[in-house]
Structures are given as structure tokens and as C-alpha cells.
């Protein structure tokens, strides 16, 4: 009988790749997407399309209002999303797109779901190589949360510890693209832009990292962009 994994599915290229990897490994999947008060819902719709593409039978969309906390350009429309930053600056320092304690909150929810459903692991597509500088994307953070899972749940105390898995943590964006391409990830269904416009902006940090990954992997990104990449990208 296949083990079950709760896979956090944001609708982006990384989480779609992590989902494909988990399915390839033979796990049954509970897809978990969060409508957390982000400034647009295009990524939630993208997650639904990806889950349908991979025939995920159990895909859940959980509503959590992080916009009431504030402090992030991703949850507060009054805070400007950074654009046109030099590519070498992305990942230095913690940007205004960091959502306070987001991964801790989302992982806690996923941990409860995993414990209640009997899932053996939680898969999150965190990446520390080509990323935006978020503190909750680092390996040491996930090592610490693994201890939370061991010490703070009934299953953990009884020795049935839920594993926190980060299969992309040491991959570059180009590696993610290559891996996803091999696994048949439908890139056109994914959404990476921090904006929710008709086309991806092409110049926010997330768009730039995505474009860099496809360019370095030598694979064409099917997503249409409203603006060409910055000359420094």
C-alpha cells in the first residue's frame, strides 16, 4: 500500500515539480493549497489546474487570512512589489515580499492534516539556491520544524514521526526546470508572478528567477510576459 504525502501546492513551478516528483516516487497525494489573503488568486487557480493535470484525487484549498497580519507586499496592496531589481541583488537580505511567518503557519496546518489523515510526510518545494531571501526557505529552518513535528504531535511522541521533505532545497532554478521537464510538468499551467494580471509582469523577483531558470536550462518558458526581462537579468 502506497504511503500518503501531503504536498503543498502553490501553483508555481517549484511546487508543481515537487508534486510530480512525489507522484513519480509512488506516493498517494493530498494536495494542499492555501488561499491566505494574497493579493491575487491566479496562483490558487493555477494550483487547481496542476492538480487536475496530475489527477490528484484529493486536492484541498484552505482559507487562512494572513492579510490581517500585514507587513508584506504579497498580502497588502498598498505595499509596492519590487520590480526591475538587478538579478544579483535578489536573495540578498529579506525583501518586502516576505510574508511574516507564512511557512510556519502553513506547515503547522499541513502537520495537523498529515497527523489526522495518517500521511507519512509533508512535501514543500522550498529552495535556498535561486530564491528571494526568505528565512523560512533555509535547510536549518526545516530541520527545526522537523523537531516540532517530533515533539509537538501525538504521532511524534509515539514514535510515528511525520517527515518534513524538501526535495528542491539544494536545486537551482535551472535544475528545477530540467527535473520538471523530465517529469512532464505543464509549465503553461503554472503561475509565478507576484502580480495577478492577464500576463506575468516579467520583472518582479519571482518572474526574474523563473526566467533565469528556463534560460539557464535551455528550455523555452511557455508563459507569456508583459515586459521583456531587465537588461541586467
| pLDDT per residue as tens, the chain (233 positions) | 889 999 999 999 999 999 999 999 999 999 999 999 998 999 999 999 999 999 999 999 999 999 999 999 999 989 999 888 777 777 678 889 999 999 999 999 999 999 999 999 999 999 987 666 789 999 999 999 999 999 999 999 999 999 999 999 999 999 999 999 999 999 999 999 999 999 999 999 999 999 999 999 999 999 999 988 776 55
Comparing C-alpha atoms, which of 110, 146, 29, 180 is closest to residue 192? 180
CATH topology of domain 4-217: Rossmann fold (3.40.50)
Strand order in the sheet with 28-35: 58-63, 28-35, 4-8, 121-123, 163-165
Instruction: Give strand pairing partners of 29.
Output: 5
Neighbours of 160 (CB within 10 A): 12
CB 113 within 8 Å of CB 9: no
**C-alpha grid cell for residue 8?**
503543498
Residue extents of the structural domains in the chain: 4-217
pLDDT score recorded for residue 130:
67
Q: What is the pTM of this model?
A: 0.95
Amino acid at each position: 500500500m502506497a504511503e500518503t504525502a501531503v504536498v503543498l501546492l502553490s501553483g508555481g513551478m517549484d511546487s508543481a515539480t515537487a508534486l510530480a516528483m512525489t507522484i513519480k516516487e509512488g506516493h498517494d497525494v493530498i494536495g494542499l493549497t492555501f488561499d491566505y489573503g494574497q493579493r491575487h488568486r491566479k496562483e490558487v487557480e493555477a494550483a487547481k489546474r496542476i492538480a487536475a493535470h496530475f489527477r490528484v484525487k484529493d486536492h484541498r484549498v484552505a482559507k487562512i487570512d494572513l492579510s490581517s497580519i500585514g507587513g508584506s507586499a504579497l498580502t497588502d496592496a498598498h505595499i509596492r512589489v519590487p520590480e526591475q531589481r538587478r538579478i544579483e541583488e535578489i536573495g540578498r537580505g529579506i525583501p518586502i515580499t516576505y510574508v511574516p511567518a507564512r511557512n510556519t503557519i502553513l506547515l503547522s496546518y499541513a502537520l495537523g492534516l498529515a497527523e489526522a489523515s495518517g500521511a507519512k510526510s509533508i512535501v514543500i518545494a522550498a529552495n535556498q539556491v535561486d530564491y528571494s531571501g526568505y528565512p523560512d526557505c533555509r535547510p536549518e529552518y526545516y530541520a527545526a520544524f522537523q523537531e516540532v513535528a517530533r515533539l509537538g504531535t501525538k504521532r511524534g511522541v509515539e514514535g510515528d514521526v511525520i517527515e518534513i521533505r524538501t526535495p528542491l532545497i539544494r536545486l537551482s532554478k535551472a535544475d528545477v526546470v530540467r527535473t520538471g521537464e523530465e517529469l512532464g510538468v505543464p509549465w503553461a499551467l503554472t503561475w509565478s508572478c507576484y502580480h495577478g494580471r492577464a500576463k506575468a509582469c516579467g520583472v518582479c523577483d519571482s518572474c526574474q528567477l523563473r526566467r533565469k531558470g528556463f534560460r539557464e536550462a535551455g528550455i523555452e518558458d511557455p508563459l507569456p510576459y508583459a515586459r521583456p526581462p531587465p537588461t541586467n537579468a
